[in-house]
Amino acid sequence: MTENPIDRAPERRVAFGEAAEQYDAARPGYPDELVTDVLEFTGRRPQGVDALEVGAGTGKATLAFAARGVTLTCLEPDPRMAAVLTRHCAAGMPHVTVENVDFERWQASDRRFVLLLAGQAWHWVDPEVRWRRARELLVPGGTIALFWNDWLVADEPLRHELRAVHHRHLQGLPPHSIVDAQPRESVMAPNSWVWEELRAQEDFTDVEHRLYLSRHTRTTAGIVDLLSSLSSYLILTEETRRAVLSDVSRTIDAHGGALELETRTGLFLARATPA
C-alpha cells in the first residue's frame, strides 16, 4: 500500500532531530548577498546588531551572521539540533548563545533585539502568537528577516523520472518536493501568506521581498542526504522511506550519478513600528 506523507503533517515540526547530522551536512546555506542585505536593512554595523534567531537548527544561518560579527541568541526546540549548533559555536564564537527552547515559551525578561531572524523556520511558529511575540522582542525600528530555500531539479526529463519514482511509492508527492516543476506550498512569491500576514500587521512597516537564484550540483549521495533531512520524508515509515530513496538513487545513478539543483531563496524584511 502506498503512503501519503501529508497525512502525518502534524509530526513534521518535531522530525528534524532524527536526522540532525544529515540535516547539517546536506542542507544548503543561504546566499552571502542575503546576509549583506539583511544587515544593511538594519542600518547598523554588524558588530552593533544584537539578534534573536528563531528555529536556528544546526546553524545554517547562524554561522553566516556570526561570521560578520553579529551577536546572536539562538532558540532551537529540538535538543539534537541544538547540540549540533552548540558544537559548531563552541570554539571562537563567544558572541553566540544557544538555548534549547521554542520561541513561543522562551522567557526574554526585558531584553529587546535589533534583529529577529528565522531561516526555514517561521512557518513552524504558532500563527496565533508569532507576530505579536516578534514585535514585543524587537526595539522600535528593529528588523524582522524571514527567509526560506526551495530546491528544484533543473533537468526536466530527470525530474519527470523522479516524479514517477515517488508516485510508485507514495499516494501524493511530499510538500516542497524537489521534483515539482514549480514549488508547492512555497513562500517565495510576494503574494504568499508571509507577505499577506506581514503587511496586515500594524506593528510592522517598510515590508520588502527579495529573491535570490543559484544552482549547484549534487551527487546521488548528496541528494539522498538532502531528502533524508526533509520532514516530509522523515515522517514516512522506515520501509517506505528506504524504498523511495533506493529508487531515487538508482534513477540518479543511471543519469551519471549527479544532478543540478536550482535553489530559490526568498527573503521578507520589515521594521517594527514604535511602541
Write out pLDDT tens, residues 139-154: 999 999 999 998 899 9
> pTM of the prediction?
0.87
Q: What is the CATH number of the domain that holds 34?
A: 3.40.50.150
pLDDT at 39 exceeding the cut of 60: yes
Domain ranges, residue 84: 5-272
Q: How many structural domains is the chain composed of? A: 1
Write out pLDDT tens, residues 84-115: 999 999 888 999 999 999 999 999 888 999 99
Say what the pLDDT of residue 8 is. Answer: 44
pLDDT at 64 exceeding the cut of 80: yes
3-state SS string over the chain?
CCECHHHHHHHHHHCHHHHHHHHHHHCCCCCHHHHHHHHHHHCCCHHHCEEEEECCCCCCCHHHHHCCCCEEEEECCCHHHHHHHHHHHCCCCCCEEEECCCCCCCCCCCCCEEEEEEECCHHHCCCCCHHHHHHHHEEEEEEEEEEEEEEEECCHHHHHHHHHHHHHHECCCCCCCCCCCCCCCCCCCCCCHHHHHHHHCCCEEEEEEEEEEEEEEEEHHHHHHHHHCCHHHHCCCHHHHHHHHHHHHHHHHCCCCEEEEEEEEEEEEEEECCC
Higher confidence at residue 137 or residue 228? 137
In this structure, of 5-14, 106-115, 156-165, 225-234, the range with the lowest mean pLDDT score is 5-14
Say what the pLDDT of residue 6 is. Answer: 45
